[in-house]
Chain A
Amino acid sequence: MTDECARHRERFSEYLDGELAGAEREALQAHLERCGACQRELEALRRTVRAVGSLPERRAPEGFAARVVRRLGREAAAPRPEVLAVLWTRVLPVAAMLALVLGLTLTVSRNGVFRREAAPERLAMARRAGEELARVGARPVATDTVFSLAEGQEARREPAAGAEPAAATGWGGLTGRAEAMREGVRTSGRVARMRQVRGLAPGTGAAAAEAPVAAKAVAAPKEARLYGAAEARETIAGAAAEALTWRDGEALREAAAGGRAALHEEAGERTDMGLTGALGVPTGPMFDQMSVEGGLARTELQAADRQPVQQVVNLTGDDPARLARRAVSVANENGVPAALMLGEDKAGGVVEVYLSVPPVQYDALLRGLAALAPPRSNVLSNTAAAKEEFFRAALDNYTYYQTVAAPAARLTVEDAHRAVGLEMAARPAAEAEAPAPAGAEPPVAVNMVIRISRPATDQ
């Protein structure tokens, strides 16, 4: 097979589907006329496609639609679609960090013994939690996350008395309820079933007043579970995938289709200029990945479609662990919440730090990181795969760090609380700077991995 054959064969599939036009099609046909091997190859591919297309259809079993409708009736408490869409997409970056924070708490409480639960059930519970928040009118700008910590046989019990939310106005509530959960685990002796729902009403006034109601609505769950890191990974990955379907895809397509052409153009121009500057709006219906070699990228999420964006910043240093600790310090100094070092010397001396960076802290953080060590590369992406990868890697590394790399250096409950406190402290500034008009969506965060390696691993 010549190079020419190989080149043409790459297009066989398109050719068969009638997707090849003009000069390419003519060139391929001309080649086929003089190359018997390629003709046979094309025929084999054609037979394959035909064979698949000829498979008999498997029809849905008798009574399928009726069963779906009955299930709908049983699950009549299903949340309103728009509430879900908002909930999932707003909460994703925060949910990841919450998972980590709660994971820490639970690890300390239960020495990392977790049990698997069925994923659909978890998602359903998360949805119900969101619905309850929505029903009482709270703006769910924080997150609902349902974790399960089970020991032995499952049992149903009402939450311990301490579960009444100590602080119903947001992140403080989370802390209080984390304590209550630990209490629940201790006193039940068998199983703790608690629901973690954070209903953060930002600022003051009516929104804050709604929060206690919301928290109360979810304070006596009929069923809820605490999850460990491994389970949270699936839940979050699933939520990320769903968010892509519900919001990102639709919203991005809408933006691309109408009204936003100018923004796209503008972003495209800036991108062409080399982009140490802006990455405002995806330059197409969906950008895959963008490398920003040697420079820093600034995300203008406020003006854009508010897509959660994943960013990988690669740094190099002779002592990655030390550099990672300094990176965490830089993050904390800049008020970036829950900056946790999650992997240490995992492979080839690479250390990773996972962050969820609100837009207002973004520039300062990147400046601080650049002062530590100039980024070797800096890649932004907003695909479903990138999101899932971020959450999966964060949780994998967390588990690794807890069980292998530093078992003696487990973070404590206090660490988790401090992380939550940091996030709490970061919020008011963000809101004061840009008060959200009624109905406006809060900015989304950048999910960032700072990946630090030794210079030798650069090659």
Chain B
Amino acid sequence: MADGGPAADAGLVARARDGDVEAFGRLVERHQDHIYNAVYHLVGSEQDAEDIAQDVFMRAYSHLNGFQGRARFSTWLYGIMLNAVRSHWRRAGPRRTVSLEGAGDETRADPPATGDGPVRRAVRREHVDAVRGAIAELEEEWREIIVLRDIRGLSYEELAETLDLPAGTVKSRLHRARAALRDKLEPLMGGVGEGL
């Protein structure tokens, strides 16, 4: 969350509703990375991620009056994002496999932590690729909940709201998704996560 948190969002939303496009631009800047990151992990392509993330903000602008401030603006945006991503999946076909772009772009997009040597960077990249690849292979509804919870850090309550699911379903779906991910990752990497 950028400076000012939900209160700052509320102020910007109010201005944007009155037609202040610059204020909306500020909102975009505050949330673009969250949304883009989530979309990228859901659809697995930079080009699609940018198109969809743009659509998310366009839709948000058109429906600003639907945001009434009971939820955080970011949570509201995630709801819009899910609709946009699901539309993308529908267009792309029911069982479209996600092709996360190759390791080549990782160097550019994921700057290494300071102090990493070349060997450690290579190992780390391998881990990152494996984890992203495993997420990409998940069923779509499992991918959604993993991205929202374990990448974006939504609370269970926010998950229920965003996914429009009862609390019990959130818990069981999250568990099944994580278990499926564990099944994919454990044989590949053994102590996955420990090297990250």
Contacts and interface: CB of A to CB of B under 8 A. Distances in A.
Interface of A: 10-14, 17, 19, 44-45, 47-61, 64-69, 71-73, 75, 78-82, 84-85, 118-120, 127, 234, 237-238, 241-242, 244-247, 249-250, 253-254, 257, 284, 286, 288, 383-384
B21 A58 contact: no
10 contacts: A14-B171, A58-B36, A60-B53, A65-B28, A65-B32, A237-B90, A245-B66, A245-B80, A254-B70, A288-B166
A53 B150 contact: yes
Contact of A48 (B22, B111, B178): B178
A69 B49 CA distance: 17
B64 interface: yes
Given A51-B192, A53-B150, A383-B164, A68 B181 contact: no
Interface residues of B, number: 71
B64 to A, nearest CB: 5
B91 to A, nearest CB: 5
A51 B33 contact: no
Contacts of A80: 65
Contacts of A55: 41, 128, 131-132, 151
B71 to A, nearest CB: 8
B179 interface: yes
Contact of B191 (A47, A84, A242, A257): A47
Interface string B97-129: 000000000000111000000000000000110
B196 interface: yes
A48 B61 contact: no
B14 interface: no
B73 to A, nearest CB: 13
A335 to B, nearest CB: 33
Contacts of A238: 83, 87, 90
A73 B24 CA distance: 12
B21 A51 contact: no
A13 B175 contact: yes
A105 B36 CA distance: 42
B112 to A, nearest CB: 9
A-B pairs, top 7 by smallest CB distance, nearest first, are A51-B193, A81-B65, A13-B175, A60-B36, A60-B32, A56-B110, A54-B196
A79 B171 CA distance: 38
B164 A45 contact: no
B66 to A, nearest CB: 4
B86 interface: yes
B168 to A, nearest CB: 10
A72 B22 CA distance: 11
B12 interface: no
Q: At the interface, is chain A mostly helix, strand, loop or mixed?
A: helix
A206 to B, nearest CB: 25
B18 interface: no
A235 to B, nearest CB: 10
A57 B53 CA distance: 15
Contacts of B110: 56, 58
A19 B132 CA distance: 26
B6 interface: no
B83 A245 contact: yes
A14 B175 contact: yes
Contact of B66 (A13, A59, A85, A284): A85
Given A12-B175, A45-B178, A55-B132, 20 more contacts: A10-B175, A13-B178, A13-B179, A49-B193, A51-B127, A51-B189, A51-B193, A59-B109, A61-B36, A64-B53, A65-B25, A68-B54, A69-B24, A79-B62, A119-B90, A241-B83, A249-B161, A250-B66, A288-B166, A383-B164
A59 B192 contact: no
Contacts of B57: 68
B167 to A, nearest CB: 10
Interface in B69-96: 70-71, 79-80, 83, 86-87, 90-91
Contacts of B109: 56, 58-59
Contacts of B156: 17, 19
Given A48-B178, A65-B25, A120-B87, A58 B66 contact: no
A85 B175 CA distance: 35
Contacts of B164: 244, 249, 286, 383-384
A71 B58 contact: yes
B63 interface: yes
Contact of A44 (B83, B111, B182): B182
A59 B37 contact: yes
Contacts of B175: 10-14
Contacts of B22: 69
A82 B32 CA distance: 24
A73 B21 contact: yes
Contacts of B46: 58, 61
A53 B65 contact: no
A78 B61 contact: yes
Contacts of B41: 55, 58
B3 interface: no
B29 interface: yes
Contacts of A383: 164
A10 B178 CA distance: 11
Interface in B166-196: 166, 171-172, 174-175, 178-179, 181-182, 185-186, 189, 191-194, 196
B151 A65 contact: no
Nearest to B150: A52
Given A51-B193, A120-B55, A250 B68 contact: yes
